[in-house]
């Protein structure tokens, strides 16, 4: 029985840490594309972490090589990483399609406000209780249109306002 | 050796829907073939699950996938808990499939079907984008019949998650069902669904990453992902590391199951999907999360008092905050989504007690809640079909217009609220009994909280029933008399409601079975014995052919 060398490599651990930090940072962004990049980084970080769990690098993950005494890497960890890479690939493709669809519909790909948040914010603004059909309150702009128009992104300030002039007053997604 | 044994049944709930999904996708032009394939596949799954429920009663049935024995190979384990969940979920999936076929979600030949509405919206968008494109090209962009294949893949993922005998396979099962759920939730790609879908997908991706990380940590700490082996090894590792893995798993499953601080995504995303999709999500997906919590917390980890207290507090918060959200809703779908969150709290309550009585009550409650919650969402789909809205401000006097619908809504609603003698009452009594048996101050607090939640649920659903069915329409308009609901939609709904009532009739044997399932999960020996019959790992990872004859290519 060959005992695996279980002391992890420092460089790999550092890479895991950096990938996680960058991934979490990007995940907190509003744009779906950046969220997706964050997800990819996090996924790679986790894959590396599993690789670290499989022992030191350098040996082949197959048995029956040159001799029985030769050290061998843990193949199970690598099999799990391969599976998760495939899954991540499929999910990335789906989210990309969704981000593109969002861009098609709204000319941006930001994750939009929860409608209920918008509703509660509007109720608070008008200082009214919530037993009426609150969609009908106020300016007449529907909640879903408002949620579409509310944006954090400042790189293209006119994109939303040009198309929907009524949204400029409450852009910024501060709900 | 006879190849047809009990073990043959075990992989069927995963294999059959997967094959059928491929076949249905290949035959996407042939509507009738797709329908036959889907119904046949889910019927086979239901029969297989029923068989497993019978055979797994005494000892878990273990199947080694590909002939590689545990712990090296992937194995599927049907213990009483998994078999019971599988049976309930396959029955629900079959009912929802029949319902959706009558609703016309898969094909677009029906006037009032949601998808037709959506294709109109898509057509308008496409026209705005490119007014010169010819009709043929536009039709090609419209959604193909992907509903059936995706639904079958969802079924396969749910089956895999229930049967998984190792943590990584559980992860794969989760991913399969989640990927299918992303597609189903954003079906048609309309404005509203893309908005709700992006929130849902991002949250689900995060939970997947957390789950994968927990699997990796568990593997690093114990050197295995096989559940039976983890159950043996996890109690021996460093308590700090163990707590970290346990908390991470709980966090990942907590997002899936929508436990309170992690539940905000659910009421926003579920109601936007088509009615049958919402029904199956509400019935099954959160329960898969609850099942995973139940499985990992009881089977893998030894008792941990601190974490149990945290879970109990979270269960109380989930119940109360969820139901207070439900009371404030104007839309029936959102109201039901909030009651769904709230009642997850009951199941977590049972799990957090970490006693056999509590676990058994939680299992019974899961079975009850899957059927009742799905039935309610299907009824709301019928209401939407009949009246075109689910807003309580616009509904009214349905009891005279559609008395059958009123009955169909009333029975599961009462069961949800826990009115005797329906199954919700029995489940709640079981949980309260387990809580009282536990006897700690916190358990008593939860008992009180459960009763309050039950009363508030009654208030919420009765308010909905009054506004939608009993009172006249606020705007005084009358519904068109002539519109009739198709029997294909009413039938499966009525069947689910009847099953919900039937749970009361068979409550005695069912509760016995739940207790047996609880004892298998709580007392790890039965599970470990089934996977490792001689107390030692069976597989070594070396195939006989390879070690004897290195010239062979494949074992």
Instruction: Dump the DSSP string for B174-222.
Output: HHHHHHHHHHHHTTT--HHHHHHHHHHHHHHHHHHHHHHHHHHHHHHHH
Q: Tell me: the pLDDT tens digits for A14-57?
A: 999 999 999 999 998 888 899 999 999 999 999 999 888 877 66
pLDDT at B23 over 80: yes
Nearest 5°: phi and psi at A92?
Answer: -60, -40
Residue among B172, B328, B547 minimizing CB distance to A83: B172
Q: Tell me: the pLDDT tens digits for B293-305?
A: 999 988 888 888 8
Choosing among A63, A73, A87, A88, which should be mutated to test the B contact, i.e. which has the most B CBs within 10 A?
A87
Residue A105 lies in a domain: no
Count of A-B CB contacts under 8 Å: 106
Residue A154 lies in a domain: yes
Q: Do A84 and B182 touch (CB under 8 A)?
A: no
3-state secondary structure B101-125: HHHCCCCCCCCCCHHHHHHHHHHHH
| Among candidate residues A47, A31, A96, the one with its CA nearest the CA of residue B209 | A47
B487: pLDDT confidence band, cut at 50, 70 and 90? confident
List, as one string, the DSSP characters of A129-142: -S-S-GGGSTT---
Q: Chain A contacts of B208, Cβ < 8 Å?
A: 91
Q: Do B330 and A77 touch (CB under 8 A)?
A: no
Quick one: A85 and A14 in the same domain?
yes
Choosing among A25, A29, A68, A94, which should be mutated to test the B contact, i.e. which has the most B CBs within 10 A?
A94
Quick one: A87 and A125 in the same domain?
no
Q: Which DSSP symbol is given to B470? A: I
Residues B374 and B270: beta-carbon distance below 8 Å = no
Residue A145 lies in a domain: yes
Which residues in chain B (235-264) have CB-CB distances under 8 A to chain A?
A: 264
CA dihedral B297, B303, B307, B309 (to 10 degrees): 110
Residues B322 and B339: beta-carbon distance below 8 Å = yes
B209 to chain A, minimum CA–CA distance in Å?
A: 6
Residues A152 and A173: beta-carbon distance below 8 Å = yes
- ipTM of the complex in this document: 0.83
Cβ neighbors of B183 (< 8 A, separation 6 or more) are: A94, B146, B150
Quick one: A21 and A83 in the same domain?
yes
Task: Say whether B63 sits in a helix, a strand or coil.
Answer: strand
pLDDT at B106 over 50: no
| B40: contact with A, CB 8 A cutoff | no
Residue A17 lies in a domain: yes
- For B53-81, what is the mean pLDDT? 84
- In whole angstroms, what is the distance from residue B426 CA to residue B511 CA? 9
Residue among A91, A115, A133 minimizing CB distance to B330: A133
Beta-carbon count within 10 A of B432 CB: 21
- In whole angstroms, what is the distance from residue B249 CA to residue B241 CA? 12
- The parent domain of residue A43 ranges over 10-91
Quick one: A154 and A122 in the same domain?
yes
Q: Tell me: the pLDDT tens digits for B421-473?
A: 888 899 999 999 999 998 888 999 999 999 999 999 999 999 888 888 888 77
Task: Say whether B61 sits in a helix, a strand or coil.
Answer: strand
Domain extents in chain B = 304-518
Residue among A53, A105, A115 minimizing CB distance to B219: A53
Which residues in chain B (41-100) have CB-CB distances under 8 A to chain A?
A: 72
Residue among A111, A133, A144 minimizing CB distance to B202: A111
- Alpha helices per DSSP H over B8-30: 12-26
Cβ neighbors of B549 (< 8 A, separation 6 or more) are: none
Residue A102 lies in a domain: no
| Among candidate residues B190, B203, B182, B269, the one with its CA nearest the CA of residue A116 | B269
Choosing among B201, B207, B226, B389, which should be mutated to test the A contact, i.e. which has the most A CBs within 10 A?
B201
| Among candidate residues B341, B205, B369, the one with its CA nearest the CA of residue B260 | B341
Both tokens assigned to B156:
């396969």
What are the distances in angstroms from CA B323 to CA A10, A84, B214, B486? 49, 37, 31, 33
Cβ neighbors of B388 (< 8 A, separation 6 or more) are: B112
Choosing among A54, A67, A91, A173, which should be mutated to test the B contact, i.e. which has the most B CBs within 10 A?
A91
Residue A135 lies in a domain: yes
CA B250 to chain centre: 17
Quick one: A147 and A77 in the same domain?
no
Which residues in chain B (492-551) have CB-CB distances under 8 A to chain A?
A: 541-542, 546-547, 550
Q: Chain A contacts of B552, Cβ < 8 Å?
A: none
Quick one: A54 and A20 in the same domain?
yes
B460 to chain A, minimum CA–CA distance in Å?
A: 13
Q: Tell me: the pLDDT tens digits for B182-230?
A: 998 888 777 888 888 888 999 999 999 999 999 999 998 888 888 888 8
A174: pLDDT confidence band, cut at 50, 70 and 90? very low
Residue A43 lies in a domain: yes
- In whole angstroms, what is the distance from residue B239 CA to residue B236 CA? 8
Give chain B's end-to-end CA distance (angstroms, integer).
19
| Among candidate residues B405, B375, B414, B424, the one with its CA nearest the CA of residue B468 | B405
Q: Chain B contacts of A112, Cβ < 8 Å?
A: 195, 198-199
């Amino acid at each position: 029985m060959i005992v695996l060398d279980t002391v992890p490599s420092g460089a790999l651990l550092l890479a895991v840490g950096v990938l996680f930090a960058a991934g979490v940072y990007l995940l907190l962004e509003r744009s779906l594309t950046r969220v997706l990049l964050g997800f990819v980084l996090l996924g790679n970080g986790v894959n590396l972490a599993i690789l670290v769990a499989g022992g030191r690098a350098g040996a082949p993950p197959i048995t029956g090589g040159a001799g029985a005494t030769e050290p061998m890497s843990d193949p199970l960890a690598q099999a799990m990483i391969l599976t998760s890479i495939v899954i991540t690939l499929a999910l990335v493709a789906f989210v990309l399609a969704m981000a593109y669809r969002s861009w098609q519909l709204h000319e941006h790909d930001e994750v939009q406000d929860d409608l209920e948040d918008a509703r509660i914010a509007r109720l608070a603004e008008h200082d009214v209780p919530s037993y009426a059909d609150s969609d009908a309150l106020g300016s007449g702009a529907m909640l879903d249109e408002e949620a579409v128009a509310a944006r954090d992104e400042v790189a293209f300030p006119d994109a939303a306002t040009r198309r929907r002039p009524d949204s400029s007053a409450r852009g910024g997604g501060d709900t | 050796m006879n190849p047809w044994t009990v073990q043959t049944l075990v992989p069927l709930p995963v294999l059959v829907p997967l094959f059928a999904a491929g076949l249905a996708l290949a035959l996407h032009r042939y509507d009738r073939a797709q329908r036959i394939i889907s119904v046949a596949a889910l019927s086979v799954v239901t029969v297989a699950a029923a068989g497993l429920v019978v055979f797994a009663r005494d000892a878990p049935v273990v199947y080694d996938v590909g002939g590689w024995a545990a712990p090296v190979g992937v194995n599927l384990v049907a213990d009483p808990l998994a078999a019971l969940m599988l049976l309930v979920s396959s029955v629900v999936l079959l009912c929802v499939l029949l319902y959706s076929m009558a609703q016309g979600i898969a094909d677009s030949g029906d006037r009032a079907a949601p998808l037709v509405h959506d294709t109109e919206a898509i057509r308008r968008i496409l026209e705005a984008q490119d007014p010169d494109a010819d009709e043929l090209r536009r039709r090609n962009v419209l959604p193909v019949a992907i509903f059936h294949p995706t639904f079958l893949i969802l079924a396969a993922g749910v089956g895999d998650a229930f049967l998984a005998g190792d943590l990584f396979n559980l992860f794969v099962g989760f991913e399969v069902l989640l990927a299918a759920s992303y597609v189903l939730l954003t079906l048609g790609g309309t404005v509203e669904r893309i908005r709700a879908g992006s929130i849902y997908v991002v949250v689900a991706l995060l939970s997947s990453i957390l789950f994968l990380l927990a699997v990796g940590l568990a593997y690093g700490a114990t050197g295995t992902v096989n559940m039976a082996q983890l159950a043996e090894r996890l109690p021996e590792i460093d308590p700090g590391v163990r707590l970290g893995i346990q908390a991470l798993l709980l966090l990942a499953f907590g997002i899936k199951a929508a436990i309170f601080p992690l539940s905000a995504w659910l009421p926003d995303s579920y109601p936007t999907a088509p009615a049958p999709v919402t029904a199956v999500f509400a019935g099954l997906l959160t329960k898969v999360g609850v099942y995973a919590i139940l499985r990992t917390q009881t089977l893998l980890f030894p008792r941990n008092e601190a974490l149990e207290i945290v879970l109990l507090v979270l269960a109380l918060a989930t119940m109360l905050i969820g139901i207070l959200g439900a009371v404030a809703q104007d839309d029936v779908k959102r109201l039901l989504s909030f009651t769904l969150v709230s009642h997850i709290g009951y199941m977590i309550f049972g799990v957090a007690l970490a006693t056999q009585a509590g676990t058994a009550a939680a299992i019974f409650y899961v079975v009850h809640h899957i059927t009742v919650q799905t039935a309610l969402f299907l009824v709301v789909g019928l209401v939407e079909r009949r009246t075109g809205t689910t807003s309580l401000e616009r509904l009214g006097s349905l009891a005279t217009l559609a008395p059958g619908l009123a009955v169909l809504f009333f029975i599961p609603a009462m069961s949800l609220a826990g009115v005797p003698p329906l199954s919700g009452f029995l489940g709640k009594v079981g949980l309260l009994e387990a809580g009282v048996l536990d006897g700690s101050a916190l358990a008593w607090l939860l008992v009180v909280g459960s009763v309050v939640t039950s009363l508030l649920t009654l208030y919420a659903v009765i308010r909905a029933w009054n506004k939608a069915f009993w009172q006249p329409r606020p705007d005084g308009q009358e519904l068109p008399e002539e519109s009739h609901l198709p029997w294909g939609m009413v039938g499966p709904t009525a069947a689910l409601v009847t099953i919900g009532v039937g749970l009361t009739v068979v409550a005695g044997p069912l509760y016995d079975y739940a207790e047996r399932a609880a004892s298998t999960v709580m007392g790890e020996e039965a599970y470990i014995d089934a996977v490792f019959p001689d107390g030692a790992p069976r597989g070594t990872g070396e195939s006989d052919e390879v070690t004897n004859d290195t010239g062979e290519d494949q074992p």
